[in-house]
Amino acid sequence: MARNKTSKAWMQEHVNDPYVRRAQAEGMRSRAAYKLQQLAERDKLLKPGMTVVDLGAAPGGWSQVAGRIAGETGLVVAVDLLDMTPVAGVTFIRGDFGDDAVLAEVEQAIGGAGVDLVLSDMAPNISGVASVDQARSVGLAELALDFAVNHLKPQGNFLVKVFQGSGFEALVADIRRKFVQVMIRKPEASRSRSSEVYVVAKGLKVRG
């Protein structure tokens, strides 16, 4: 019964959420699109002509925003385990970017060019066990960081969602070692009760 009440409360909040309504009105795939929009505007992350990789892209809200701004002169490659309805101007690859075959597809799509911006809005499937979910969240962020470090151009940028909790500080410290400037952001479109934050990392340091 309690779960039923929780589900009803969530649905009520979702239906009344101004960003959900705005997404529906503006043809965006998800309310998350506005999180990226706000982060990108604040930290000047997106511009025309960029090469962008969107990890964990489905249902495509971030890819929509990135594709519109990168434009015809840019390249946006979206990757997800789940299928995704095509987004205009975005190359979609279905699979786990940690698999060699999928990674090779991503690298082929990039065409040997370095990436300007790696995005990750990935979140684990929630088990309900907080410690397990937190560990999985940090693990996904670490995978995204590893991809970013290996594929970004020198001075390239990285944006990743992380949940605050165990392992968070160590992850941020690792990102700080690899990027010149690191900021923790919580965009207005992020629900205030959520522990999610976004790490904006600018200026990949030269490897070696």
3-state DSSP assignment of residue 157: strand
Start-to-end CA distance of the chain, whole Å, equals: 57
Burial class (CB in 10 A: 0-12, 13-18, 19+), 57: buried
DSSP symbols for 28-97: -S-THHHHHHHHHHHHT---TT-EEEEET-TT-HHHHHHHHHH-TTSEEEEEESS-----TTEEEEES-T
From edge to edge, which strands make up the β-sheet containing 152-163? 90-94, 75-80, 51-55, 115-120, 152-163, 196-204, 179-185
Q: For strand 115-120 and strand 152-163, is the pairing parallel, antiparallel, or unpaired?
A: parallel
Active-site annotation holder among 35, 153, 161, 178: 161
Nearest to 165 by CA among 117, 124, 120, 118: 124
Annotated active-site residue 161? The verdict is yes
3-state DSSP assignment of residue 17: coil
Tell me phi and psi for residue 200, to 5 degrees.
-100, 115
Catalytic residue numbers, as ranges: 161
